[in-house]
Amino acid sequence: MGTASVREDSSPNEHGKAVQLESKKDVNGSAKILRPHGPVHRFSNVPEKEMYPEQPLEANYTPITEPSIGTFDEDSPWAKKTILCLDGGGVRGYSSLLILRALMKEIQTLERSEDPNAISSAYSPLVNLPLENSLDSTSNDNKPNPGYLPCHYFDYIAGTSTGGLIAILLGRLRMSVDKAIEEYEMLSAKVFEAPPSRLKRSWTKYNSIARREYLREHFESMRPMRPSYFEKSHQFKSDPFRCRTIVCSIKSTKNKDFQTPFLFRSYDHIKNAVSPNIILERNPSDSHAFEIWQVARATSAAPSYFGSINLFDDRYYDAAEDINNPSLEVINEISLISGGSHDAIDVLLSIGGGNAHGNMPKTKFGGGGLLQEMTTISAVVHDRVTSESKAHFFAYHRLDVEEGLQDVGLIEWKPKSSGARTIKRIKDATDRYLRRADVRSQFLQCAEALVRKRTQRAQTMRWECFAIGTRYKCPEKDCPSPNERYQNRNSLMDHLRMQHDHAPLDAEHFEEMQTLLDKGRTCSD
């Protein structure tokens, strides 16, 4: 039947601002859709029909028997993924965090210039999201607001070796970059700094036992920010509807007769039975019961630090000699998850560990050992990803300090008490790199794309779940399914209407329904 647009009375939204609620009614007066009506954000290119999300999380949810007045198909802003990949690099990996800090500062500037209400990266114009101290609005001119988190801009954060450690901090633990820098400095002082003499290194094997125990205790003591209600804070597996983490390692049988790359995933990856790239499908399965510290230990199990680790009858090693740049592995992983499609990526940001050819130390005999291998592998992967990005039309950005670090060793931390000299050398080289015009241009393009994507997504109801892990449960005391969780407000609204005969979310009942929906919000209980 035909439809006619009808403008209802003005009602306040959740920020106390008046909005026009526009519904469409068929010719017999039955309401079909309800949405806020007003100006569109400059970055808001989401079609109106895609503003609200799809299905609830739980498989046992019984769909309603008629369409919701507030639920729309919303594939567009979520269909293509954003990826952050972090190379290994030993202590030089500190430069990748400095690059990220500068990026988040640029993102903060863009966010606040577009919408002063966006005081954190969790912000949404649709719902008031509860914030914690780590998402406050305090900032200064030198550091990005701690409320702007990489996990809100990337669907996947992946890393190898020390890049894997950073991926855990930013992805699984959902830290701000500044917090990750603090943690990385503490880890560097205990894990990277080598004993002063060859004789002592020989006797103590770099004091491997003490170092690995420190690594374990350190990661065991950290807890993820805003865990989803079903997450176990010590386990690597996390909410699959939030930022996902991939950490690369090498798995070996105990007698080392077989070795293969292994991906630690914070989510389940079911074997793809139809993909043409099946030979490259790394260890498809559920995400096992690995603890966060075990994954950190496995990805950093390099001879320079400490030996391999035995987990579930297999041994795991650092993967820097094989897949130091994890970008191709992640491209392949997302292609498999997408049913073999190579068009599921929107933006890929790859950050090197300061191991570009210009940073190779000068040696008398021309050899570079592990550093040479890491540099060569990363360069080859960069060339391959560049070709992939052109063939499949996704934005690819590679940022890596290209010179000035040749005198900084992979395990240098001087002086041992603070690392101040090592940190200064890395900061100076990184600052010079970021001031280059070509780097600055690429930097701005990446920041703008990420802000545009987040802004579009924040205008869908799925955002609340992605940003802070919110689920909803029925607030009615007599509900026959009190423990059932719903992925978003619209799914709960459908339940309230169909199971409890509540009024629709029209202008007359707007405040009443919003209050009831807020009562159903749950994050980590």
199 contact partners, CB below 8 Å, separation of at least 6: none
Among 254, 94, 273, 106, CA closest to 166 = 94
H or E element: which one contains 465? helix 462-468
The residues facing 311 across adjacent strands are 314
In a 13 Å sphere around the CA of 484, the CA atoms on its Cβ side amount to 19
The residues facing 288 across adjacent strands are none
Q: Is-contact 167 219, C-beta < 8 A?
A: no
Residue whose pair of structure tokens reads 């001119």 in the numeric block: 141
**Catalytic machinery residues:** 161, 318
Sign of CA dihedral 119, 122, 125, 126: negative
81: left (phi over 0), alpha (psi -120 to 50) or beta: beta
Residue whose pair of structure tokens reads 């952050």 in the numeric block: 84
Q: Is-contact 339 73, C-beta < 8 A?
A: no
d(CA 332, CA 5) in angstroms, rounded, equals 46
395 contact partners, CB below 8 Å, separation of at least 6: 346, 347, 348, 389, 445, 446, 449
499 contact partners, CB below 8 Å, separation of at least 6: 474, 479, 480
Could you tell me the CA-to-CA distances from 196 to 156, 370, 416 in Å, in that order?
39, 20, 10
In the DSSP assignment, the letter for residue 135 is G
Among 416, 409, 395, CA closest to 354 = 409
Q: Is-contact 267 238, C-beta < 8 A?
A: yes
Distance between start and end Cα atoms, the chain: 45
Question: What's the chain's Rg over C-alpha atoms?
Answer: 25
In the DSSP assignment, the letter for residue 38 is S
503 contact partners, CB below 8 Å, separation of at least 6: 497, 509, 512, 513
